[in-house]
Amino acid sequence: MRVISYNLRKHRAAGELTDLVERHGADVLCLQEAVTAGLPDQIGGLQLADATHRNRLGLAVYYRANTFRAIEARSMSLKKSLHDRVLKPAEERMLGVRLRDIDNNREVIVASFHAAPLTALNSLRRHQIKAALTELADLGEGLPILMVGDYNYPVFKESLGQKVRAQGYELTLSDARTYTRYKFFRGHYDFATSVGFDIERVKTLPQGLSDHLPILVTAEPSMMRAKGAA
């Protein structure tokens, strides 16, 4: 499975998506900061599974319809930062989709995630990550889960990794930084958390019109998690 995650920077990079999907052979596309009302039903041969509707700038997930069937989608509002309460840029910060592989009848969950901005505390973002993963586990008990997106977590990622592992998941960074707009805030913002997947690689792709660089996650479900697993 090849999954691309891209923060479009207020939809500015939307015109790059077809080429991005086709060039890298993506099976799933996860978007953040998209004007969801203007998204097409298909991008580069991928079908829109679902998009958030209560955000000024929202999330979307596309999948390859000749490989998967979308079984269920679920969005979630997470604990709000002061920035969210005042400016209200994002009501829903997680969108998960349960997919069934047509060939082997195996199911997985893939999610697009966008954490609170840097004005919030890391403790709030950790709370959001934990809540999102808990909700995804409920979407399909025991299924492999891959959550990608903009985590807004440039520093202290070692501590985040420990807390994610304590919840039963793995955190995987990309091979190069993914945010370049501000000199003092450059770093790895876009990465993946997973369980039940073998992550072969998380590659940072060339920069386009967004201040975030897209990432390409190459992963394979490693096992069906036992029911009731963390």
Q: Which residues of the chain have pLDDT under 70?
A: 78-91, 155, 182-186, 223-230
**Is 98 domain-assigned?**
yes
Give the sign of the dihedral formed by CA 116, CA 118, CA 121, CA 125.
positive
**Is 228 domain-assigned?**
no
**Is 230 domain-assigned?**
no
The pLDDT value given to residue 209: 96
The pLDDT value given to residue 90: 55
Structure tokens at 226: 């036992």
In a 3-state reduction of DSSP, which class is residue 23? helix
**Is 79 domain-assigned?**
yes
Q: Looking at residue 158, which CATH number applies to its domain?
A: 3.60.10.10
Bridge partners of residue 68, in order along the sequence? 101
Domain assignment of residue 36, given as a range: 2-221
Task: For residue 69, give Cα distances in angstroms to 101, 126, 205.
Answer: 7, 31, 27
The pLDDT value given to residue 229: 43
The pLDDT value given to residue 158: 81
Structure tokens at 154: 């440039």
pTM of the model: 0.91
Instruction: Residue 144: name the closest of 190, 104, 111, 189 by CA.
Output: 111
**Is 229 domain-assigned?**
no
Percentages helix, strand, coil for the chain, rounded to the nearest 5?
20, 35, 40
Instruction: Give the torsion through C-alpha atoms of 46, 48, 49, 53, to 10 deg.
Output: 160
Please tell me what DSSP assigns to residue 41. Answer: S
Q: Tell me if 170 sits within 8 A of 194, measured CB to CB.
A: yes
Instruction: Residue 8: name the closest of 27, 23, 43, 25 by CA.
Output: 43
Residues contacting 23, CB < 8 A, separation 6+ = none
Domain count, the chain: 1
**Is 157 domain-assigned?**
yes
The pLDDT value given to residue 80: 59
The pLDDT value given to residue 184: 55
Please tell me what DSSP assigns to residue 37. Answer: G
Residues contacting 119, CB < 8 A, separation 6+ = 81, 82, 83
